[in-house]
Amino acid sequence: MLKAKMLAILWLVLGIICIAYGFTVKAAGSGTKFFLVWTGIGVVLLLAGAAVGTGLWGRMHIGVRRIIVCAVLAVCVAVAVLAGLVFFRFSEKGEKNLDYIIVLGAQVHTYGPSAVLKARLDAAVAYLQENTGTLCIVTGGQGYNEPFAEAEGMAEYLENAGISSARIIKEDKSLSTLQNLTKAMDLVDFTGKSVGIVTNNFHVYRALGIAKKLGLTDCCGIAAYSNPLYLPNNVFRECLGIIKEHITGAM
């Protein structure tokens, strides 16, 4: 009885933490609604805690309980494996003197790039300053919740940081990572060219997987910073993204 009570309290506490974390992610203004996933997980955990606390879990048929437990374990193992692949690419620094770098788009606001995009742009600036012969492709169109195309804001940020406009190519129509890369390939012939993909550390694995599936075999990742507070959200989102890309054949 005590064990069941403690388990119920654990689920309830975890549920509250997940819901609170979801609101923390929402407050970051990332431009996505992925915070709802954390809210959903929190609600499920609260219901699980209530089921254990009220004895409903114990009254369920043992076969049903085993199916639920196996399903939860399978999801946890899958997420752990995919997260391991994501972390494997966390420290990618790229190669020197690449022909091109492609900066993947992210949320822009009227006052400038989001924190995620700013980190990508800062990494691009650092690379371009050290490798003066490299050209830069900024990618991203205008989303429904953005004041202008991401590529426009990105180009302005790079120019304000001292990067010559002659080194910047704008791709301002894409709305996803896959489109960022495919439309960049429509603008530039990368045959025989070396390419670096600039994105946040948690996104490098998926971005490289998509790029190589598209035929960019001579490419490498350049990992930008990401706030550790939002790392659980970003990595979990990437895990689901990797599954989606494999299902659709993008990876």
Q: Which tokens is 196 given? A: 């670096």
Ordered structural domains, the chain, with CATH: 2-88 (no CATH), 100-248 (3.40.50.620)
| End-to-end Cα separation, the chain, in angstroms | 48
Half-sphere exposure of 188 (CA within 13 A, CB side): 22
Burial of 166 (0-12, 13-18, 19+ CB in 10 A): exposed
Half-sphere exposure of 127 (CA within 13 A, CB side): 32
Q: Among residues 163, 89, 152, 150, which one has the least CA distance to residue 117?
A: 150
pTM: 0.88
The answer, yes or no, to whether residue 10 has pLDDT greater than 70, is yes
Calpha distance 85→79 (Å, rounded): 10
The answer, yes or no, to whether residue 71 has pLDDT greater than 80, is yes
The predicted-structure confidence for 231-243, as pLDDT tens digits, reads as follows: 999 999 999 999 9
DSSP H helical ranges for the chain: 2-27, 35-54, 56-59, 62-88, 115-130, 150-160, 177-187, 204-213, 231-248
Of the chain, the percentage scoring pLDDT greater than 90 comes to 82
Residues 6 or more apart whose CB falls under 8 angstroms from that of 95 comprise 194, 196, 220
The answer, yes or no, to whether residue 1 has pLDDT greater than 80, is no
Number of other residues whose CB lies within 10 A of the CB of residue 230: 19
- 31: DSSP letter: S
Residues shown for the chain:
251
Of the chain, the percentage scoring pLDDT greater than 70 comes to 98
Quick one: pLDDT band at residue 249, thresholds 50, 70, 90? very high
The predicted-structure confidence for 90-136, as pLDDT tens digits, reads as follows: 999 999 999 999 999 998 999 989 999 999 999 999 999 999 999 99
The answer, yes or no, to whether residue 2 has pLDDT greater than 70, is no
Q: How far is CA 153 from CA 106, 139, 179, in A?
A: 10, 10, 18
Query: 62-92 burial by CB neighbour count: b if 16+ within 10 A, else e?
Result: eeeeeeeeeeeeeeeeeeeebbeebeebbeb
Is residue 156 within 8 A of residue 121, CB to CB? The reply is: no
Q: Quick one: average pLDDT of 155-161?
A: 96
The predicted-structure confidence for 170-201, as pLDDT tens digits, reads as follows: 999 999 999 999 999 999 999 999 999 999 99
Residues 6 or more apart whose CB falls under 8 angstroms from that of 92 comprise 201, 204, 220, 221, 222, 223
Return the pLDDT at 204. 97
